[in-house]
Structures are given as C-alpha cells and as structure tokens.
Amino acid sequence: MFRFMKTSSVIAAIALTGIIAGTAGYQIGLRRTTQPAASVGTTPPRTNAGTERRIVLNPTDLTKLRAELDGETEPLKRFNHALKNMEAWVNADPKGALAWLRSQQPSGRRDEVIHRALQQYASNNPQGAAEWAKDNLTGIDLNNTLIRICEQWSRTNGREAAEWTSALPPSHARDAALEGLTFAWASQDPAAALEYLKTSQVDPTLASILRYAAYAGWAKTDPVNAVRGSLESSRVFNDPEQFANTLANWATIDVAAAGKWLLENPLNPAEKSLAAKELAGIYANQSPQAGIAWINQLDGADKKAALGEFADGWASTDPSAAAQWAATLPAGSLDDDAVAKILHGFLSDDHAAFEKWRDSLTDGPLKQQALKVVAGEPGN
C-alpha cells in the first residue's frame, strides 16, 4: 500500500483498514435507499446526494434511548440495544454516542464500534471527529485514527484538513496524518496539494516527506505527469530518491509501463540507478520473469543495482526459483549478501531440494558458497 511511506508512521494505519466486518448490524455506510425500521423512533429519513438515506434520532427518541440503556442491567443486552440505534445516534449526537461507548467496559468489540462511529462522524463533520480523536485517544490509536479521518477529510476539503492538522502541536501522530492526507489530497487535486506545500510552514525534513507523499498520490491517478513533475522537483531539491519513489508508486499499479518509461527517458546516473533499484524490487514481487527481461536491458551500475534488489526481493518470495536464476548469471553478478539470502531461503524451504540443486552446480563461486551455507560457516 504504501510505497510512498518511507517512515513507519503511516504503515501503522493499515491496521484500521481491517475494521470493516459487521458488528451487531452496525454497518456504517452500507445503508441505501431502503431502510429497516429503527428500534426506537427516528426522524423521517432525508436523502443524501440522492443515493443514501440518513436516519437521525429526534430529541425525544434520543432521551428515550438513553433511558432504556440506563435501565438495562445486563451489559450484553445494553450494548446490543445501543448498536441497533448507533447509526441514528451518531447522526444526531456523535459526541454523546462516543462518550457512551467510551463509558462501556473496555474490549476489542467496543473499540471497533468506536472506530466505526468515528468514521461515520467524520463523514458528517471531519473536523469534529478529528477534534474528538485528539482529545480522547492516545498513542498508536490516535495515530491511526487521525490518519484515517484526515485522509477522508482531504477528499472533500484538502486545504482545510491540512491547515487544521498543521496547527496541531508537533508529534508523530500529526506528521503521520499530514503525510496520509497529502497523499489522498494529491491523488485527487495534485496542483492544489503541491501549491499548499510551497507555502506551508513545516521543518525541512517533514516538507520532504510531504513532497514524497504528494507525488506518490498523484502517481496513482496520473502517473506520467506525476513522474515528470517529481523529476523536475527532485532536481530542484537535489533529491533523486524522491523521483525514484514516485516512479515506484507508478510501478505498483503498472510496472511494465513504469519500466518502459525508465528505459526510454534520459536521466542522470543517480536518478536512473535509484529508480532501477526500486523497480527491480517491484518486478521481483509482481512478475519475476518479466523483471529478468527488463533488467537485461540495463547495463553498468544500473544493472548491478537492479540485480541486487531483484535478488533480494525474489529470495523472499521464491528462493528456489531465485537460486535457479542465480546459477545462470556470470560469476560476480550478485554480491555475496544477495547470494547468501537466496541460499539460506532455499535451504530453509526445502533442504533436500537445495542439496540436489547444489550438487548439480558446476564448480565455482556459487557452489562454494552453497557448500559453506550448509556447513554453517560464519558470514554465510
């Protein structure tokens, strides 16, 4: 998901993407034009953009629901009754619904519903949801939740989301949210996102991270122009890794097109070598055979860098196939560390097959290193 993320901050956000399974019928965002009756009275549904019907508890029914919950002494029944009305409750009184959830016995189920309620709150009022998260959550939970809310917010008002988030006190959570929302914003409106970055008052390290995120987001929807723009920007900031990262984001959705672009466009040595290394790793994971053919069109330092990254990546997914390929290369094509990773992976996967393959090798550096791996010699 997140090749644009060179920090660990946003990778943690992936955990929240798993919170989509049903919980006692509370399915945020799944209601459409026909609605089952709510457990307690609701105001007449109103149409949202002509496709969704939003149910909201009126004040009288909200009071009735709270009285019913307060009067229920069995915790499981009380919680399930709340869930049946949670969507309408959050629409009517999101802070009250969240406060009630927070007052319940801590559990994974409760926390899941809190995140669902926050997602719904953010769809109605992203700043309100973000403020609630800031005031009530901590640590990785705050980090992940702000990322999700701010990404959602940026798709409707990127500048507002960025200005609110930038105004937070410096923290890991703030920077992660800025990174995520910049990616999402630029995937829809790259010109606006990049223009904002030119005037934002952040430290140089964070500014660089946000440029990576912006061009990466742009690459997901308009890769050719994103790569061209990133190349120009990377030269201004003397940061060829930014360009390589943007090209890698293109490669995650179309590695063949990204690889063709790299072969056909003039680049300086650092730009091409770094980009070749990035693409080689993606080829290793997506299409190793196509990757071999592509690498063979490179030469010199570019090919050397690509070979090492390709070997490392393929060794992680199919060390047996990687070993067969390594045996076809001229001696010295791969450095010892890359070869060792392939050999160790193959040996760990299938000891008998490894030994049969090793014995079939002709005498040379690869066979000697394979023998040392089995013997367990240091450095191998």
Looking at residue 313, its amino acid is G
Q: Residues 338, 308: contact at Cβ < 8 Å?
A: yes
Q: What is the pLDDT of residue 106?
A: 93
The predicted model scores a pTM of 0.82
Write down the mean pLDDT value for the chain.
Answer: 87
The pLDDT of residue 11 is above 70: no
Relative orientation angle of helices 336-349 and 365-375, to the nearest 10 degrees: 50
Q: What is the mean pLDDT of the segment spanning 134-159? A: 95
pLDDT of residue 214 exceeding 80: yes
Q: Angle of helix 300-317 relative to helix 336-349, nearest 10 degrees?
A: 20
Q: What are phi and psi of 220, to 5 degrees?
A: -75, -20
Share above pLDDT 70 across residues of the chain, in percent, rounded to a whole number: 85
Q: pLDDT for 347-359, tens place per residue?
A: 999 999 999 999 9
Residue 55's contacts (CB-CB under 8 Å, 6 or more residues apart) are: 31, 35, 38, 42, 43, 45, 87, 88, 91
Confidence of residue 168 (pLDDT cuts 50, 70, 90): very high
44 pLDDT more than 80: no
Here the tokens at position 300 are: 């010199």
pLDDT of residue 55: 81
What's residue 15's pLDDT?
34
Return d(Cα 63, Cα 244) in angstroms, integer: 57
Given a cut of 80, is residue 201 above it in pLDDT?
Answer: yes
Rounded Cα distance between 162 and 152, Å, is: 12
Mean pLDDT computed over 194-222: 96
Question: Shortest CA distance to 281 belongs to which of 241, 249, 314?
Answer: 314
Give Cα separations from 35 to 42, 82, 116, 124, 165 (angstroms).
12, 18, 19, 19, 36
- C-alpha atoms less than 13 angstroms from C-alpha of 91 in its C-beta half-sphere: 18
Percent of the chain with pLDDT over 90: 81
pLDDT (tens digit, 9 = 90+) per residue, 263-286?
999 999 999 999 999 999 999 999
Rg (CA), the chain: 27
Whether the Cβ atoms of residue 230 and residue 215 lie closer than 8 Å to each other: yes
State the pLDDT confidence band at 379, using cuts at 50, 70 and 90: low
The Cα–Cα gap between 315 and 339 comes to 9
Model pLDDT, residue 56: 83
pLDDT confidence bin for 52, thresholds 50/70/90: low
pLDDT digits (tens, 9 = 90+) for 293-315: 999 999 999 999 999 999 999 99
Contact 220, 201 (CB under 8 A): no
